[in-house]
Amino acid sequence: MKLLLRLVPCLLALSALAAPEWLTDLDAAKAKGVKEGKPVLVDFTGSDWCPPCKALHKNVFMSAEFAAEASKYVLVELDYPRTTPQPPELKAKNRELQQQFGITGFPTVLLIDAKSGDVFGKTVGFGGDSAKAYLSKLAAFKNSPEGRASLNDELKKNATRSAKNRELNAKITAAITAKDFKAADAALEEIFADAPSDRRALLFFNKARLQLQVDPAAKAQALKFLDEAQKLAEGDEALTKNINGLRSKIAPPNAAPKAPDDPKKGA
C-alpha cells in the first residue's frame, strides 16, 4: 500500500504530460478556444515529405516541455501530405485555409485569437531550436493591438528582405555564369550584411562554395574560406559537418601526397 501511495504522484505527473490533442478542424478549434479562453495554435505541416516539419514535431511538439505547456493553446494540425491519403473534403478545406492565410512555406505555425480570428503570432520554417527555445519564441507573441502591429511590421520587413535576397541571388547566378567571383562575392556579402555575427561562419562556407562554382580549380582559396568558416563555426555541429564534408571533396583525406622531385634524379 505504501508503495502504491508513492507511485500515485508519479502516475499523476505522467498523465499530465500525456500527448496533447491536435484537432484538424480550425472552426471547431476556434469555438473551443472561445469557450476555454485560449488562443489557437495552428501548425501547417507536410507530414510525409517536409524534413523541417518532421523535425519540429520530433524536437518540439512531441517533447515533454511542449506537453507541459500545450494546455495554454487549442492545437490544430493542418496537413498537406503528398503520398498519404486524405479525405477530399479535408484536403479542399486545408487548401482553402492555406490561401486564406497566405501560407507559402512549411512548416508555418500561427497563433490566432479564437474570438476575432486575428493572427498575432507567426513562425515559418524550423531551424533546430530546442523545445524550450521554441516555446519562448511563441510566448513572446502578444495577443494585443501592439503585439499584432509588431508582428505586421516584422512580416513586412521579412517580405522586403526576401525580395532583396531574391534580387541578390539573381546577381550571384549571373556572376557565376560570367565567371566573375568579385561580383558574386559582393552580392553574397550584401545578403549577410544584416545577419547576426554568429552566422559569419555560414558566410565563409558559402564563399568557398561560390569560389568553386566560379572556378573549380581555385581549391586553395576555397580551403582558406573553409578555414575561416571552421574557426567561426565552433559549437555549430551541423555547419561543422558541412564544412568538413566540403573540405573532404576538395582535398580528400586519403589522397596520397605527391612525392617531391628528387634533384639527384636525372643528374
Digit-by-digit pLDDT tens for the chain (267 residues) are 554 455 545 544 444 467 899 999 999 999 999 999 999 999 999 999 999 999 999 999 999 999 999 999 999 999 999 999 999 999 999 999 999 999 989 999 999 999 999 999 999 999 888 999 999 999 999 998 888 888 888 778 777 878 888 899 999 999 999 999 999 999 999 988 877 776 788 899 999 999 999 999 999 999 999 999 999 988 788 789 999 999 999 987 665 545 555 555 544
> Cα separations (Å) of 106 from 35, 63, 70?
29, 20, 21
Cα(231)–Cα(179) distance, rounded to whole angstroms?
28
Strands 74-79 and 22-23, sheet pairing: parallel
How remote is the C-alpha of 200 from its chain's centroid?
18
Residue in 65, 66, 68, 12 with CA at minimum distance from that of residue 43: 66
Residue in 185, 167, 178, 265 with CA at minimum distance from that of residue 225: 185
Predicted TM-score (pTM) of the model is 0.63
Provide the grid cell at 76: 490544430
Provide the grid cell at 224: 582558406
Please determine, looking at this structure, whether the domain spanning 15-143 carries the CATH number 3.40.30.10. yes
pLDDT of amino acid 216: 94
pLDDT of amino acid 14: 43
How remote is the C-alpha of 37 from its chain's centroid?
30
Provide the grid cell at 218: 581555385
pLDDT of amino acid 17: 60
Cα(181)–Cα(168) distance, rounded to whole angstroms?
14
Provide the grid cell at 205: 562556407
Q: Where are the domains of the chain?
A: 15-143, 156-250
Per-residue buried b or exposed e for 226-258, using 16+ beta carbons within 10 Å of the residue's own CB: bebbbebbeebeebbebbeebbeeeeeeeeeee
Torsion of CA 169, 171, 175, 181, to 10 degrees: -70
Give me the phi and psi of 105, to 5 degrees please: -140, 150
